[in-house]
Amino acid sequence: MAMTGLQIFKLLPKTNCGECCVPTCMAFAMKLAAKNAELTACPYASEEAKKIIGAASKPPIRLVKIGPPEREVLIGNENVMFRHDKTFVHEAAIAIAFADNEPLSELGHKIAEVRDYCLERVGEQLRVNLVLVDNFSEEVKPFVDLVKTAAGSTGMGIILRSANLEVLEAGLKELPGKRPLIHAATSANAEAVAALALKYNAPLVARAATIDELVALTTKLAALGVKDIVLDLPADNPAATLQYNTIIRKAALKNAFEPLGYPIINFVTALDDASLVADASTYLCKYGSIVVLDRMQLEVLLPLMMLRQNVYTDPQKPIQVDPRVYPIGEPGKDSPVLATSNFSLTYFLVSGEIENSGVSANLIVVDTEGMSVLTGWASGKFTGEKIAAAVKASGLQDKLEKRRIIIPGYVSQISGELEEALPGWEVLVGPGECCDLSSFLKQQAAR
For residue 12, state whether it binds ligand SF4 (rule: CB under 6 A): yes
For residue 262, state whether it binds ligand SF4 (rule: CB under 6 A): no
In Å, how far are 165, 205, 217, 355, 396 from 214, measured between CA atoms?
20, 11, 5, 54, 64
Q: Hey, which residues between 43 and 82 contact ligand SF4 (CB under 6 A)?
A: 44
Nearer to ligand SF4, 46 or 412 (CB): 46
CB-based contacts of 164, cutoff 8 Å, min separation 6: 135, 138
Among 4, 10, 18, 209, binds ligand SF4 (CB under 6 A): 18
Among 2, 6, 10, 15, binds ligand SF4 (CB under 6 A): 15
For residue 28, state whether it binds ligand SF4 (rule: CB under 6 A): yes
For residue 36, state whether it binds ligand SF4 (rule: CB under 6 A): no
Min separation Cβ 26 and ligand SF4, Å: 8
For residue 219, state whether it binds ligand SF4 (rule: CB under 6 A): no
For residue 11, state whether it binds ligand SF4 (rule: CB under 6 A): no
DSSP letter for 174, please: T
Nearer to ligand SF4, 40 or 439 (CB): 40
Min separation Cβ 10 and ligand SF4, Å: 12
Among 4, 19, 36, 141, binds ligand SF4 (CB under 6 A): 19
Q: How far is it, in rounded angstroms, from Cα 131 to Cα 66?
A: 11
Cβ distance 413 to 387 under 8 Å? no
Task: Give the bridge partners for 362, in sequence order.
Answer: 327, 337
Sheet strands (E) in 171-289: 181-185, 204-207, 229-232, 265-268
Q: How far is it, in rounded angstroms, from Cα 11 to Cα 209?
A: 43
Task: Give the bridge partners for 328, in sequence order.
Answer: 361
Among 8, 11, 37, 42, binds ligand SF4 (CB under 6 A): 42
For residue 16, state whether it binds ligand SF4 (rule: CB under 6 A): yes
Min separation Cβ 40 and ligand SF4, Å: 11
Size of the site for ligand SF4 (CB under 6 A): 13
Min separation Cβ 44 and ligand SF4, Å: 5
Largest CA distance in the chain: 81
CB-based contacts of 90, cutoff 8 Å, min separation 6: 63, 74, 75, 76, 77, 78, 289, 312
Among 2, 6, 10, 13, binds ligand SF4 (CB under 6 A): 13
DSSP letter for 92, please: P
| b/e per residue 327-366 (b: at least 16 CB within 10 A) | ebeebeeebbbbbbbbbbbbbbbbbebbeebebbbbbbbb
Min separation Cβ 23 and ligand SF4, Å: 7
> Would you give the end-to-end CA distance of the chain in angstroms?
71
For residue 412, state whether it binds ligand SF4 (rule: CB under 6 A): no
Of the candidate spans 13-21, 112-120, 165-173, 263-271, the one that interacts with ligand SF4 by CB under 6 A turns out to be: 13-21
Min separation Cβ 18 and ligand SF4, Å: 5
In Å, how far are 176, 327, 381 from 321, measured between CA atoms?
40, 14, 15
Name the site residues for ligand SF4 (rule: CB under 6 A).
12-13, 15-20, 22, 25, 28, 42, 44
